[in-house]
Amino acid sequence: MAKMKAWNFYEPEVMRFEDEDIPVISDNEVLVKVKAVGICGSDVSYYYGHSPLGTASGKGPLYLGHEAAGVIVSLGGIPAGLGLFKEGDRVAINPVQQCNACPACMRGEFHECGHCEVIGVSVNGCFAEYVKVKYTHVYKIPNEVSFESAALAEPVACSTHGVTLLDIKLGQTALVYGLGSIGLMMVQLVKAAGAGKVIAIGAHDFGLVKAKELGATHVINSRETASPYYAASVEQKVIEINSGEKAPRCIVATGNMNAVEDALNLTGPCSTIVYFGLPGPKDELKIPVLDALQAERTLKFSWLAPLVWDNVFAVMASGQVKVEPLVTHKFSLEETEKGIRFMKEGKGDKIKGIVVIN
Ligand SMILES: [Zn+2]
Ligand SMILES: [Zn+2]
C-alpha cells in the first residue's frame, strides 16, 4: 500500500506526524493531493479539546483540516464516467458532505443534514498529503485563484451564507462586529452586497487597519483606549456615523456572547442581526424581549454554507473578496501542529494561518 505523511490527532494536544496509507477511493470519490489548508478556529478548538470531534466517540484518531484546495490525482468510476473532472484539475473542497437523500437535503438545507460526513471533523481531513472527497464536493477553481486563496473558499462560503442572511438593502449601514479572518471577509462581502457605510468594530488596531484597507468606511476600537479609533461609547459613535440613528444591520463574527448583547444596543427598530460565531456548549443569550418585540427585531443564526459556493468563486475571482491580505502566517505540512498552537498561543498580530504543501 502506498504511503503518505499525515497528522493523526489522537486526543487533546496529542497529534503525531505519521506514515499512513494513501486513502483508497470508492466509485463516487476523487483523490486530491492537498496543496494548501487553512487552520480554522475550530481546528484549534478540537486540538485543545474545547470541542468534540464529529466522530461517533467524539474523539480521534482523525486527521483534522477542512479548509483545503489541491489537485485531483485519481477519479472513481462515477466522476470519470461523467467527464466532469480529470486528473490535474485544481479544486477546492467543500468539507460538508451531505447525504442528498434525507428530508433536510430534499429541501436544500444541506447544512442541517443529519448524515453528513464532514472532512476533518467526522472523517479524515486535509492535514495530510492526500484526502479523498466525494466528487460532488470538489469544485474546480478559476485560474486566477491560487491554491492558497482557494483553501479559504470554505470560510468565504460560510461568511457568504451569513451575509446572505443579513439581507442588506442597497445603501444600508452595516456593522461588522469582530475582526478575525471571518469578520474581515464579511467587511468585504457586506460592501459587495450593497451596504453604504460599513462600520467595523474590533478590539485591536491590527484588524481595524486591515478592515479599512479592505473597504470598511469606518472603524471603531472598542477596547484599547490608546487607539486612534477608540470610542468610549461604541453606541454613540455608531449613531454619530449613521446620521443620528442606530444601525439597521449587524453581523456578529465572534463567539463572544457580550457581542450579541452589544449588537442589540447598536441596532435600531426593524433591524436584523446575524450571529456567526462558535459559542461554548453552555452559552446562553439574554434578550430584553419587550424591547425586541416593540422594535420588531430579527435575530438570525448562521451555520455553515448551503448553496453559496458558485458565488464564492465568483466573488474571489472578481476580487470583490480578497483573502491574501488575511493570511498572516504560513506553515509547512511538517509544521502543522506548531501552526495550530501558534494560532492560539503565539504572540503578535495574527489573523489567518495556513499550511502550504509543496
Ligand atoms: Zn473552518
Ligand atoms: Zn441529508
pTM exceeding the 0.75 threshold for the entire prediction: yes
Tell me, in angstroms, the distance from the centre of ligand 1 to residue 66's CA: 6
**115/176 Cα distance (integer angstroms):** 33
Tell me, in angstroms, the distance from the centre of ligand 1 to residue 158's CA: 8
Ligand that comes closest to the CA of residue 106: 2
Tell me, in angstroms, the distance from the centre of ligand 1 to residue 96's CA: 10
Tell me, in angstroms, the distance from the centre of ligand 1 to residue 235's CA: 31
Tell me, in angstroms, the distance from the centre of ligand 1 to residue 303's CA: 11
* Helix, strand or coil, per DSSP, at residue 187: helix
Residues of the chain with CATH 3.90.180.10: 3-152+323-356
Per-residue model confidence (pLDDT) at position 256: 86
* Helix, strand or coil, per DSSP, at residue 269: strand
Ligand that comes closest to the CA of residue 51: 1
How many beta carbons lie within 10 A of that of residue 146, not counting itself? Answer: 16
Ligand that comes closest to the CA of residue 116: 2
Tell me, in angstroms, the distance from the centre of ligand 1 to residue 41's CA: 7
Per-residue model confidence (pLDDT) at position 1: 82
Instruction: Summarize pLDDT for 297-336 with one digit per residue, the tens.
Output: 999 999 999 999 999 999 999 999 999 999 999 999 999 9
Ligand that comes closest to the CA of residue 46: 1
As to burial, measured by CB atoms within 10 angstroms (0-12 exposed, 13-18 middle, 19+ buried), residue 153 is: buried
Name the CATH superfamily for 3-152+323-356: Medium-chain alcohol dehydrogenases, catalytic domain (3.90.180.10)
Residue 352: partners with Cβ closer than 8 Å, 6 or more residues away: 38, 39, 152, 180, 181, 323, 326, 327, 328, 329
Residue pointed to by grid coordinates 456578529:
252
Ligand that comes closest to the CA of residue 104: 2
**Which of 268, 307, 276, 111 is closest to 187 using CA atoms?**
276
Per-residue model confidence (pLDDT) at position 255: 87
Tell me the CATH architecture of domain 160-301.
3-Layer(aba) Sandwich (3.40)
Tell me, in angstroms, the distance from the centre of ligand 1 to residue 46's CA: 11
Per-residue model confidence (pLDDT) at position 268: 97
Tell me, in angstroms, the distance from the centre of ligand 2 to residue 304's CA: 14
Tell me, in angstroms, the distance from the centre of ligand 2 to residue 132's CA: 19
Per-residue model confidence (pLDDT) at position 162: 98
Mean pLDDT by 10 residues, the chain (358 residues): 96 97 98 98 94 92 98 98 97 97 97 96 98 98 96 98 98 98 98 98 97 98 97 98 98 92 96 92 90 97 95 95 98 98 96 96
Residues of the chain with CATH 3.40.50.720: 160-301
**313/151 Cα distance (integer angstroms):** 11
- For residue 61, whether the previous peptide bond is cis, meaning omega lies within 30 degrees of 0, is yes
Tell me, in angstroms, the distance from the centre of ligand 1 to residue 80's CA: 29
* Identity of the amino acid at 267: T
Ligand that comes closest to the CA of residue 41: 1
Ligand that comes closest to the CA of residue 107: 2
Instruction: Summarize pLDDT for 11-46 with one digit per residue, the tens.
Output: 999 999 999 999 999 999 999 999 999 999 999 999
Tell me, in angstroms, the distance from the centre of ligand 2 to residue 122's CA: 15
How do the residues of the chain divide into helix, strand and coil, expressed in percent and rounded to 5?
Answer: 30, 30, 40
Tell me, in angstroms, the distance from the centre of ligand 1 to residue 154's CA: 7
**72/69 Cα distance (integer angstroms):** 10
